[in-house]
Amino acid sequence: MKCRKYMGSMVLAAVLLFVATTAMAVQPKYVFFFLGDGMSASQIQATEAYLTTYNHGSATLATDLLKPENRLNMSKMPVAGMQTTYDAHALMTDSASSATAFACGLKTMSGTIGMNETMDNSYKSIAQLAHESGMKVGVLSSVSLDHATPAAYYASVPSRNSYGDIDIQLANTGYEFFGGGGLKAMNTDELAAYGYTVLNNRESILALKDEPKDNVICVNPWLQDSEAMPYAIDKPATNLSLAEMTEVAIANLYEERSWGKGRRWGHSRKDGFFIMVEGGKIDWACHANDAMAAIGDMLDFDNAVGKAMAFYKKHPLETLIVVTGDHETGGMTIGHATTGYKAYYEELLGQTNSFTFFAANQWLEHKATYAAGYDYTLTNNLENNPDMLGLMVSVFGLSYDDLNAYQKEKLEDAYDKSMCATNDNSDAENAYLYGGYEPIIVTITHILNERASIGWTSYSHTGVPVPVFAQGREAWRFAGFYDNTDIAKKLAKAMDIRQQLPVEK
């Protein structure tokens, strides 16, 4: 009888210990938030269709599209939701107000970071709150580290263009890791005065995986435009990809501690982290309607998600991963009027550079060679220039001989406009056709994308809702349909941050 009571007491004690331990382990210690700037369902589906084609499958066969190797990491996550993207006064948000929603749980005006719409109060971001609770923080972006999205995780300014103020606030954060692009208003010496070590070559950055440092800023050696990393399609071997930079951040911020130090599992934050990763140039490529540049950066962004998922496999009970976009850009559609219900993603396989790289290199040299004495009144300037026709094939995989008469006419008008700033179109037609981008380049990408069955409706952001994916501890919170401000609030609850968002500074 005594033995039964003893055994019963032991079982009860074990159950209570399990319940108590489980209760203390509810909140994740390692939290990843991935934000694809300009990414919505269209960008995801286009990338998976391209990946299927690249892997020798067919983008018209469900059996091929559904193969695991043709799916993105994010779309294979077990929890999915959808969030609305509008800001306080715009159906089509900008990245500053959307990032403020994600970071602070607050609607604000386009162009405003970390402040309310009247710009008289500043708010703490989820990263700041995590840092105050003892977690380490990493902020990564493929664009400049003081661009609108990363800035929302540490700065509060009325204008996203106040780079001097933003950079000072970055330097004052004490966050342990920044990585990706550069800064627009602060140099290495100034950052050193705030206690930051700046690394800007591949070898020294990768070395952080074995020799971590606190207060480090990792800047890629070649920044393509506006202090941003190059598009993935243009990346030199000397640079790190966004995925590689994410792997470095994880290794640099993770601290493995022994069980013998009195730490309660799931309760101590000393070895936890919060990492925000932005795929910023997805947006830039979609603004320019360059599908292949966007797809390349989508793949790099999703590979970064894959690095977090590999970490999750080692720490499944302590890790949360959330992936979403801030808005859709470009009005990208899966399908086009000229292709009906067909898809021809093999048309994209021949593009070797982004619109930005082509403009700064091959196109710049071509125009310098042929612009003098250019006569736009001639009707066959493009057709009679074998060098330009050769560039269309070598850089974009687009053969002039394969095009129809209407496509050739559009290219001729665009070539004229690019070569001498004049063509036969009205100003309104040119604004509609080119949207402020180099006419011949954006027309080439339009035609190439249309042949693949990808359409574009805008050179700006659109207002469609955006999918959310989640995996790991507390991932269930991100199922359903909700507002973008709920992202920060759900993260706060998942991380056991007790203040109710938004939290004033």
pTM of the model: 0.93
User: Is the separation of the CB atoms in 483 and 84 below 8 Å?
Assistant: yes
Joined tokens for residue 340: 């009906």
Bridge partners (DSSP) listed for residue 178: 139, 217
Residue 256: predicted pLDDT: 67
Per-residue pLDDT tens over the stretch 203-232: 999 999 999 999 999 999 999 999 999 999
Mean pLDDT, range 407-431, rounded to an integer: 97
User: Is the separation of the CB atoms in 88 and 107 below 8 Å?
Assistant: yes
User: Is the separation of the CB atoms in 107 and 340 below 8 Å?
Assistant: no
Flag whether pLDDT at 361 surpasses 80.
yes
φ/ψ (deg, to 5) at 123: -130, 150
Three-class secondary structure assignment of 373-424: CCCCCCCCCCCCCHHHHHHHHHHHCCCHHHCCHHHHHHHHHHHHHHHHCCCC
Joined tokens for residue 275: 């990492």
Three-class secondary structure assignment of 1-13: CHHHHHHHHHHHH
Of 433, 358, 343, give the one whose Cα is nearest residue 388: 358
Residue 255: predicted pLDDT: 82
Report the C-alpha gap between 71 and 64 in whole angstroms. 10
Report the C-alpha gap between 117 and 110 in whole angstroms. 9
Flag whether pLDDT at 273 surpasses 90.
yes
Three-class secondary structure assignment of 273-319: EEEEEEECHHHHHHHCCCHHHHHHHHHHHHHHHHHHHHHHHHCCCCE
Contacts of 11 (CB under 8 A, 6+ apart): none
Give 49-110 as a DSSP string: HHHHHHTT--TT-HHHHTSGGGS-TGGGSSEEEEEE--BTTBSS--HHHHHHHHHHS----T
Per-residue pLDDT tens over the stretch 332-358: 999 999 999 999 999 999 999 999 999
User: Is the separation of the CB atoms in 209 and 194 below 8 Å?
Assistant: no
Report the C-alpha gap between 9 and 147 in whole angstroms. 59
User: Is the separation of the CB atoms in 231 and 351 below 8 Å?
Assistant: no
Matching residue, tokens 């095009």: 403
Flag whether pLDDT at 60 surpasses 60.
yes
Report the C-alpha gap between 390 and 183 in whole angstroms. 38
Q: Long-range contacts of range 378-384, CB-CB < 8 Å, 24 or more positions apart?
A: 379/412, 380/412, 381/412, 381/415, 381/416, 381/419, 382/408, 382/411, 382/412, 382/415, 383/408, 383/412
Report the C-alpha gap between 480 and 205 in whole angstroms. 39
Kindly indicate the confidence band of residue 272, based on its pLDDT and cuts at 50, 70 and 90: very high
Joined tokens for residue 313: 């496999």
φ/ψ (deg, to 5) at 115: -135, 160
Contacts of 190 (CB under 8 A, 6+ apart): 171
Flag whether pLDDT at 315 surpasses 90.
yes
Per-residue DSSP letter, 211? S
Report the C-alpha gap between 35 and 294 in whole angstroms. 14
Dihedral class, residue 385 (left if φ above 0, else alpha if ψ from -120 to 50, else beta): beta
Mean pLDDT, range 247-258, rounded to an integer: 84
Report the C-alpha gap between 151 and 104 in whole angstroms. 12
Flag whether pLDDT at 161 surpasses 80.
yes
Report the C-alpha gap between 376 and 287 in whole angstroms. 28
Mean pLDDT, range 489-505, rounded to an integer: 97
Matching residue, tokens 């960008």: 43
Per-residue pLDDT tens over the stretch 382-401: 999 999 999 999 999 999 99
Domains of the chain, each with CATH number or no CATH: 29-332+469-494 (3.40.720.10), 350-455 (no CATH)
Per-residue pLDDT tens over the stretch 86-130: 999 999 999 999 999 999 999 999 999 999 999 999 999 999 999
